[in-house]
Structures are given as structure tokens and as C-alpha cells.
Structure 1
């Protein structure tokens, strides 16, 4: 599920600036899985009956986004911009860096944008996503609270603050934020999914009843509803993967869908206690290189949680 740093208004401002100027002249992050794989994890990759069938070619760097980086950089160096225009261009470049997986460069631009425009809600939202992805939750909450103070109607702040709360083990807060996000659009299947995950941590039985009440009505996105159908056992793992392949128009869309499918398969496997299979699914989500999707962002968090659980069980 792609959740961009920018809202539509900011994007339009930046687009206008780019059009005019061009005519005239996204604590420590979890360890890299490849560096810490145990022999058991490696064996499971080969032994899982489906894993080899589901491998996908990693998404290559988007040349259009690379060209956009060059254009934005040229604008920043050569155009005469006021502070607000420069902040908007910096934030757009931060989003582009993030899309390409260049997180540190993205953070530099986000901070510069905030220095130039301290009331820029989208920049704080970007900062919150960056901190949450790295497990720096106090910084994430501070940034998201700033967004709510500046723009209470921001499209995705409750989703992303909910994710920070969820991965920090604050499930009550997570469910509250996911509920706010869900009720903004009850037909969005991904809003149902995360509302369900938080609710399941608090009352598993009620959460299972709730998702069954909600899933059929959440039909705004057919692919997202297919994932929901998988979560309520109406669709099998194999059927979900086949749908990802058959419903994709090109390689990029296939990667987007498989990133999501792998991630939610990992969530199901983890909930069933199949820790090594879950690890492999989360690694497969990472292998797609879909950096801007939250499923890619939080796959490492899921891997870290599973490894900690495995270590605890082995002690």
C-alpha cells in the first residue's frame, strides 16, 4: 500500500513551480537480514514448498524518477525561489529520494524543508514516517503530533501514527488511529486490514468477527479486497499469488502486488507460529524493491520481531 509523503495540494504547488522553471531555462534500523541469516532460515527458503515459485525480479530504479531528481536539483541550485517554494521543491526531492530507497538523502531534504517552512505539515509527516521506519518512535510521535496540530484533516497521518504505535506495542493507540483512518473511507480494504491487525492484538475473537463484518463492503480496490479475502480464509495463498500475476499489467505492478501479498502472507504465517516461513515471506517483500510501500518499510520491523521471538524461544 503506497502512502506518499505529499498531499495533493503540495504536489500541485511543486508541479507548478517545476513547470514554470523548466520552461524558462520518504534509533538504529533493524539489521540487514542477509547479514544475520541463521542456517535454519536458509534451509527454510529451500524447503518451503511455494517460495521458489513466487520469486520476482526486483524492481529496477525508475529512470523517470532519476531524471526528476536531476531536474529538482537544478531548480534548487539555479532558480530564484522564495523560502516556501524552495521548501516545496526540497520536499518533493525528499519524496523522490525515498522512492528510490535513498533514505538518508531524503531525511536531509526533509529537515531543510522544515527549517525553511516550520509550519509545513507534509514535511513533519515525512519525518514521522522516516523515524517510525527506523524504530525511533518518540521522534515519530512528535512529528505526527505536529502534523495533526497543523493539519488535523491530513489524509494519512492517522494511518502512519497508528503504524508507529503498532510497532511500538501501543495497540490501544494504534487501534484508535486505525479506526479514525478506517472511518474516513470504510470502502478502502487496506484500512480494514490495519484496523484488524491492531484489534487482533487486543481481542482476537472480536477482531475476527469484525473483519468478517467489514470485508465484503470494502470493495473500492479489487486487489486489496482479494488480500482481505485471503485474511478471512476465503482465498488461498496460491490463489492470491495467481491473482497478483494474472491481474498485473506490467512488471512494476506485479512487484507492487507481490510486495503486498508477501507481507500479508508473512503476517498470517507469524500469527500461526510459522516463524521461519514468515521470515521468508517478509524477505520476499523486501526483494521486490518497492521502497515506497509501507509493506516494504515495515518488513524489516517484522523480521526483527520474529528474530527476537525465535531467540527467546531458543533460550
Structure 2
């Protein structure tokens, strides 16, 4: 799954077969009820009478992931593991905790994994994400730098170090990392988005030209390109939301898509000075309970930035 920012290297020792996430359900659209009794609802946004927010039922805790936790814990307590094997299982359990939103428990396992295997790049990567999400940027940079030293070709380290720099206000550093991440796969629309967000903080005019040059060739993910089309004003908010419903096979996929849609709608609203509208979008992203997506992780950072901006304006 391309949007989660933890590493996906999840193999277990002793050939443990992990359960696949298989959720089936009815296709949902704005014109028909969603599964579990959820339905499209419109609410008025402060200051924008015509704005429509489509509410979605938050995802429940995944039973397969809870079972996985039990299996991993059983291995840790009952299996005869060497330090490297124990570190691998601890890191896998940390990732599972994180998917369930249990951040502190994830951190405990990450630290134990690093103690057992100090050269474990994935564990440092997870540690960096944890620090960045909490706004502890010095710790995040140290962890991500360790990842690059141990594994310069890590798939997501430049994205996540770029996110830490972006939310710490170091936009030139963020743009450099986002550029490295973008050029690893120029067809990924989400890489275009973050390159654009950082560039916009440095030279707004050039950033607008750049995203116009890049967005059409970034066609490696149809849903992601629809969000890009929204960012370049080729589709409306209503079109984006309707596409999220129409392209979702079940409630889980709908939540994934709406988490992303709400977040980027919030980014646009904030850029237009619609702070209260943006706050509601970021809160809606949080309401999906899609914990591993970066859009869920950094919705709180966006809310904090907006509240600070509102306070500054009121002073």
C-alpha cells in the first residue's frame, strides 16, 4: 500500500504466515448508503454556506491486526530467538501497533529492536516517523540520517525526512528531499504533491508552473492523479469526493480515499486563507482512523499550524 509511511518489510522468523487483510463489501457512492449504516451527510462549514463535507464512519480496529499482535507476542515469549530475529519480530509488532494507533507501544518495541540490532535501518526509519509526528524534529533528523547511512536506497526515507523538514519550517531542505523522492518515480502523483507544497513555500509562482508541468505525466495512480487534478483546479471538491465514493469497493477503501481527499482539500483551503474550513477538513481526515497514512499523521500538525495562525491574526 503506497500511502503508509512505515516500512513494509514484514517477514517473520520461523515461517509465520501472516493473515492478509480481506475485507469485502458493497460499492458505495454519494447516492447510496455506505456499509455499516453510514451515509452521505452534508454539514455547513463556518463561513462557507455552500461547502459540503461528506461524513464517513471511522474504521474500527482491525481484528486481523489484533490477531497478528497475539501471534507476534507469542513468538517473543515462547520462541528461541537470537537477537536479530527478536529485533525483526519486535519491529514487526511495532508496525502493527502503529497501524492500530497505539503509538507509545510502538515506540517501546522500536527502541528494543534498535538495542538488539543497532544497524536496523527500518527501525530507525520508524523511530524518525514517530519523532516527526510528535514534532520532535531533532530526534527525527538523527533517526532519518541513520537510515540513509545504513541504507541510502531506502524507499521512503527521503519522503519522511522531507516531511520532518517541511513541518519544521525548513522548506529548502524539504524541497531537496522531496525532489530526491520525486525523481525516484516521477509517475507517482503523491511525490509531485509534496514537491509542490515545499516549492510553493519558496517560490509560489514557479511551484505553480512546476506542478502544471508534472501532473499529467504522474499517472501511476489514478486516484492520486485525481487529487493532483484537484490541486491544479481541473476538478472541483464535489468531483473529488464523488470519485472517492465511486472508486471504492468497500468501506475500508472509502476511508483510505477520504482521508487523503480531506487532507488535500484542507491544504487548499488553508492556502486560500479559509482557516476554519481547513480545520474542519483536517479534523475529518483524523475521523477516518486511517492511522498509517501520512495524511492522518500530519493532519494534527496542520491543525496546530492553523490554530497558531488564527491566534496570530486575533492578537
Distance of 1:182 and 1:87 partners within structure 2: 31
Matched, 1:263 2:249: no
Structure 2 segments unaligned to the other structure (5+ residues): 19-42
1:18 is aligned to 2:19: no
Which residue matches 1:25? none
Residue aligned with 1:97, SS: helix
CA RMSD across the alignment: 1.7
Change (3 A) 1:271 1:47: closer
Q: What CA deviation, in whole Å up to 9, does each residue of 1:87-119 have, x standing for no partner? A: 000000000000000000000000000000000
Q: Where do 1:107-122 residues align within 5 Å?
A: 107-122=107-122
Q: 1:35 corresponds to which residue?
A: none
CA contact (8 A) 1:158 1:178 kept: yes
> Secondary structure, in 3 states, of the residue corresponding to 1:59?
coil
Give TM-score scaled by structure 2 length: 0.89
Match in the other structure for 1:31: none
Q: 1:46/1:102 Cα in 2 relative to 1: closer, same or farther (>3 Å)? A: farther
Give the distance between the partners of 1:232 and 1:215, measured in 2 at CA. 8
Q: Distance in 1 between matches of 2:202 and 2:15?
A: 47
SS where residue 11 of structure 1 aligns? coil
Kindly tell me the number of residue pairs found equivalent between the two proteins.
290
**Contact 1:98/1:291 (8 A) holds in 2:** yes
**Alpha-carbon separation, structure 2, partners of 1:188 and 1:70:** 35
Counterpart contact for 1:286–1:299, Cα < 8 Å: yes
CA shift, 1:3, in A, is 2.5
Q: Distance in 1 between matches of 2:58 and 2:267?
A: 21
Residue 65 (structure 2) pairs with residue 65 (structure 1): yes
Which residue number in structure 2 is paired with residue 5 of structure 1?
Answer: 6
Runs of 4+ in 1 over 4 A off after TM superposition: 45-48
> Structure 1: where are the runs of 5+ without partners?
21-41
